[in-house]
Structure 1
Amino acid sequence: MSSPDGSCAGEVCTTCADEAVPMRLVSLLPGELALADGPGARQEISVALVSAAVGDTVLVHAGEAIARIAGVTHE
Structure 2
Amino acid sequence: MPAVTCSGPHCVTCSDAAVPVTVVSLHGDLLAMVDPGDGEWVEVSVALVDAAVGDVVLVHAGEAIGTAARS
TM-score, length of structure 2 as denominator length? 0.79
One of 2, 5, 18 as aligned partner of 1:9? 5
Secondary structure of the 2:33 match is strand
Query: Could you tell me which amino acid in structure 2 is paired with residue 18 of structure 1?
Result: D
Kindly state the Cα deviation for residue 30 of structure 1 after the two structures are TM-superposed: 2.2
- Alpha-carbon spacing, 1:10–1:55, altered in 2? closer, same or farther (3 Å): closer
* Structure 2 counterpart of 1:31: 29
Kindly state the Cα deviation for residue 46 of structure 1 after the two structures are TM-superposed: 0.3
TM-score, length of structure 1 as denominator length? 0.76
| Farther off after superposition, 62-71 or 47-56 | 62-71
Kindly state the Cα deviation for residue 21 of structure 1 after the two structures are TM-superposed: 0.4
Two-structure CA RMSD over aligned residues (Å): 2.1
Greater relative CO, 1 or 2 (CA 8 Å, sep 6+): 2
Q: Which runs of 4+ in 1 moved over 4 A?
A: 10-13
Which has the larger strand fraction? 1
Query: Could you tell me which amino acid in structure 2 is paired with residue 14 of structure 1?
Result: C
- Alpha-carbon spacing, 1:23–1:10, altered in 2? closer, same or farther (3 Å): closer
